[in-house]
Amino acid sequence: MNFSKFTLKEDWYIETKLLNQVTKELVFEKGHLFETETGVYDIVWSGGKMSLTEKMMREAEDENKNPMFEETIVEVKEEVKMTVEEIPDSEEYAVKNWRIQLDVKTTRAKLREVEKIINEMVKPIL
């Protein structure tokens, strides 16, 4: 599964107050990219860690109620799964019934194009 990427819109500071003295620490610079492979964005800095969901990243606001992140949708161009197995030489030229299966994520129109190519190029070889 693909998850969105989020870019920080402004510098991110964390303020701490100790003995009436306020310290402002830069945590991430504007343009920092946050990514995930699990759906949970682990945001780690020198002073701590927080985990945010995709929804929380979309809804995060700064103190002026402006969105903190700009979302970048990750688009999958093509997803192909293929299994390759080695065949012993003794079976290399044996004529048998075989199944060729290709699992793809695409549109019906593109699937028809693939079918046409297979019919034109692969069937004559078989």
Q: Read off the pLDDT of residues 102-112 as tens digits, 9 standing for 90 and up.
A: 787 888 888 88
pLDDT at res. 78: 67
Where are the domains positioned within the chain? 5-72, 79-122
pLDDT digits (tens, 9 = 90+) for 54-84: 999 999 998 889 999 998 876 666 667 777 7
42, 49 Cβ separation under 8 angstroms: yes
**C-alpha dihedral over 47, 52, 56, 60, to 10 degrees?**
20
Q: What is the DSSP pairing of strand 5-8 with strand 33-34?
A: antiparallel
